[in-house]
Amino acid sequence: MDLSRRNFLKFGGATAAGVAVGGRGVDLSPVEAAATSLKLKEAKVARSVCPYCAVGCGQLIYSKGDKIIDVEGDPDTPHTLGRLCPKGAATIQLSNNPLRPTKALYRAPGSERWEEKPLEWMYEQIAQRYYDTREKHFIEKEKDKNGDLVTVNRLEAIASLGSACIDNEECYLLSKLNRALGIVYHEHQARV
């Protein structure tokens, strides 16, 4: 499948994408500008934050139904004043993208392919792996430096990595879950 931008636009039907690349830094031709404002007039707008670097540029996300039609810099944002860089201006393709898997995928040991699986099945399997690994490898007590047996409640057989790309609330939930299970290999991108 050839997915150059031109074909991509046709493919995804996301005519707004071309406009978003220009963003506020480019003087849109009057025709494009008129088309944009007309299209956005009927759209729903959500206030958002750019998901790329940590400058945290404010974004306005325009959508119709469950389709995002445009992403722009939010001019009210005091520290970014509505500007976006090329990555921020491409945010729409994180959502509208035919390369994006929308089903849960499973790859069996030694298999040469992915298989689509129901989400519930996946969750059940994953929970069972966590449970079995924890039950088999949990370290409840061990000797300290003085040779005394002390409670450590630690699980070393499961590691967790990520993420600086998820929300604060999600980070907190993952910290809580990992620590409550005893996980100590617990890291994200800030370390590297």
25: three-class secondary structure by DSSP: helix
Asked if 44 interacts with another protein (CB under 8 A), we say yes
Asked if 41 interacts with another protein (CB under 8 A), we say no
Footprint (CB under 8 A) of another protein, residues 78-97: 78-81, 83-91, 93-95, 97
Question: Per-residue string for binding with another protein, 120-159, x by CB under 8 A?
Answer: --xxxxxxxxxx-x---xx-x-x-xx----xxxxxxxxxx
Asked if 49 interacts with another protein (CB under 8 A), we say yes
Footprint (CB under 8 A) of another protein, residues 95-124: 95, 97, 99-112, 114, 118-119, 122-124
52: three-class secondary structure by DSSP: coil
Nearest CA among 149, 132, 131 for reference residue 140: 149
- Least Å distance, CB 33 to another protein, is 20
- Least Å distance, CB 32 to another protein, is 16
- Least Å distance, CB 158 to another protein, is 5
- Least Å distance, CB 59 to another protein, is 8
* Contacts (Cβ under 8 Å, ≥6 apart) of 20: 70, 71, 72, 89, 90, 91, 92
111: three-class secondary structure by DSSP: coil
- Least Å distance, CB 28 to another protein, is 17
Cα–Cα distance between 159 and 77 in angstroms, integer?
38
Tell me the β-bridge partners of 45. Answer: 62
Provide φ and ψ at 164, rounded to 5°: -80, 0
CB 18 within 8 A of CB 28: no
Asked if 71 interacts with another protein (CB under 8 A), we say yes
